[in-house]
Amino acid sequence: MLFPSLLQASALLLFSTSTSAQSSSSSTACNNSPSLCSRPYNNITHLGAHDSPFLRDKSTSFSTSGNQYYNSTVQLSSGVRLLSAQIHKNDSASSSADKWRLCHSDCKLLDAGSLSSWLSEIKTWMDANKNEVVTLLLVNSDNALASDIGPQFEASGIDEYAYAPASSSAVKTWPTLQSLISNGTRLVTFVASLGDPSTKYPYLLNEFTHIFENDYENESPTEYACTPNRPKGLTTSDTGGRIFLMNHFLYSTQVFGIQQPNNTYVNVTNAETGVGSLGSRLDNCTEVYGKAPGFVLVDFFNVGPAMKSVDKANGVESAWGEWEWEWGWEWSGGEEGEFWGGGGGGRGCGGVFVVGRGLWEKFLIG
Identify the pLDDT of residue 319: 65
Q: Are 48 and 295 in contact (CB under 8 A)?
A: yes
- Residue 55, strand partner residues: 68
Identify the pLDDT of residue 25: 39
What would the mean pLDDT of 29-43 be, rounded to a whole number?
96
Helices (H), 144-246: 146-156, 177-182, 207-210
How far is CA 288 from each of CA 200, 222, 249, 291, 328, rounded to the nearest angstrom?
38, 17, 20, 8, 32
What would the mean pLDDT of 102-125 be, rounded to a whole number?
91
Would you please indicate which residues are annotated as catalytic (active-site) residues? 50, 104
Over residues 197-217, the pLDDT tens digits come to 899 999 999 999 999 999 999
- Residue 46, strand partner residues: 295
Over residues 74-103, the pLDDT tens digits come to 999 999 999 999 999 987 767 777 789 999
What would the mean pLDDT of 29-46 be, rounded to a whole number?
97
Residue 27 has pLDDT above 80, yes or no: no
Residue 289 has pLDDT above 80, yes or no: yes
pTM reported for the whole predicted model: 0.83
Residue 217's nearest CA partner among 243, 188, 251, 257 is: 251
Question: Residue 164 carries which side chain, given as an amino acid letter?
Answer: A
pLDDT band at 300 (very low <50, low <70, confident <90, very high): very high
- Is the sign of the CA dihedral 278, 282, 288, 289 positive or negative? positive
Nearest-10 Cα torsion for 361, 116, 305, 23: -80
How far is CA 214 from each of CA 106, 227, 245, rounded to the nearest angstrom?
24, 6, 7
Q: Are 268 and 327 in contact (CB under 8 A)?
A: no
pLDDT band at 195 (very low <50, low <70, confident <90, very high): confident
**CA 339 – CA 359 distance, rounded (Å):** 13
The region of weakest confidence among 118-122, 160-164, 214-218, 347-351 is: 347-351
Rounded to the nearest 5 percent, the helix, strand and coil shares of the chain are 25, 20, 50
DSSP character for 75? H
Identify the pLDDT of residue 127: 98
